[in-house]
Amino acid sequence: MSETKIITKQNEMLHDHNRDGVNRRGFLKCMAWAGTGAFWVIKGGVLKSYSLSRLSEIGPAESAGELSFVQISDSHMGFNKAANTDVAGTLQIAVDKINNLSATPEFILHTGDISHLSKPEEFDAVGQILKGAKPQDVFYVPGEHDVLNDDGKQFLERYGKNSHGAGWYSFEKKGVHFIGLVNVLDLKAGGLGTLGHEQLEWLENDVKHLKHSTPIVVFAHIPLWTVYPQWGWGTEDSAQALAYLKKFGSVTVLNGHIHQTMQKVEGNITFHTAASTAFPQPAPGAADSPGPMKVPAEQLRSVLGITDVNYVQGHHALAVVDSTLA
């Protein structure tokens, strides 16, 4: 029994919309649905996650571990419509939350849609705000909003110095192998996100030499599992990518794009999507289209109450997955 995995929620989609109990007065200050991210701790080889919107529950005991990092996503700098007219403000709230953690995370992962329209000043603004975060290292992957008009050339110039192809890369931190993938380029009519042959080949080679006990964290913008194909929430060739990761005891896949937290466990692989720091989107199929959800302050609680259907395991916003890596 060297490999024991206790997975309580097999193949089940878990929804959480950060039940925060925010009142109207506290809404602008907290913007709990917006200024959120996920705090991750690796302890004894096990990856655990906590929502930044429930900061008070992340004490010294929770944040102690070999490695901790934060995931933020979909900051959409430049967006200024009704759903959120101050995306810089809500990103700043996320940074404040990161800075208030009892232990400083090692680094930040940004899972894409940094900008809204790929404008240089939008990328600059995000960079400026994130400079105020205690963790100085930020690892990015592009969202479709970051590669507009130039097939990702600007993104590569800004963030892709040590990357391959269209911007994919991997790195090691304290024994954990992190892989950043790009699935927002060269999308085909009627299709989903795409990784492409070249990237898949790179991935196969990248993980070939790793021990099976190496914890793997994959991050990409569009979900690498099929959340809702009708809205394009999935990746065409993700099955091939995941096949290369089957041999590993622990694989965690972190995505953004859908502006809400979800989790799914499938064998050795745990999938998570992060909330947006900018604006929420409807649950799959809950609206005619995946457009921004306008949530007036006075309705916030009721909206969250309605969608808060499968609250996960006590007080953690994302389920804790117990899996040993031995």
Partner 1 sequence: MRRIVSIATIAATLVFGIANLGAGHGTFAQNAQTKTAATEISIDNFSFGPTALTVAAGTEVTWTNRDDIPHTVVSTDDPKAFKSKVLDTNEKFSFTFTKPGTYSYFCSLHPKMTGKVIVQ
Residues that bind partner 1 (CB under 8 A): 81-83, 116-118, 144-145, 148-149, 187-192, 229-232, 288-292
CB of 196 to partner 1, least distance (A): 14
Cα separation, 157 vs 167, in Å, equals 10
Nearer to partner 1, 127 or 191 (CB): 191
The pair of structure tokens assigned to 277 is: 């720091």
Nearer to partner 1, 116 or 316 (CB): 116
Nearer to partner 1, 150 or 204 (CB): 150
80-99-262-258 Cα dihedral, nearest 10 degrees: 20
136-145-220-266 Cα dihedral, nearest 10 degrees: 130
CB of 193 to partner 1, least distance (A): 9
Task: Give yes or no for a contact between 64 and 9, defined as CB atoms under 8 angstroms apart.
Answer: no
The Cβ-side half-sphere exposure at 287, using a 13 Å CA radius, reads: 11
Nearer to partner 1, 100 or 149 (CB): 149
Query: With 0-12 CB in 10 A as exposed, 13-18 as middle and 19+ as buried, what is 46?
Result: middle
CB of 190 to partner 1, least distance (A): 6
CB of 218 to partner 1, least distance (A): 22
Nearer to partner 1, 180 or 292 (CB): 292
The Cβ-side half-sphere exposure at 320, using a 13 Å CA radius, reads: 13
Cα separation, 199 vs 202, in Å, equals 5
Nearer to partner 1, 46 or 117 (CB): 117
Query: With 0-12 CB in 10 A as exposed, 13-18 as middle and 19+ as buried, what is 21?
Result: exposed
CB of 166 to partner 1, least distance (A): 14
CB of 230 to partner 1, least distance (A): 7
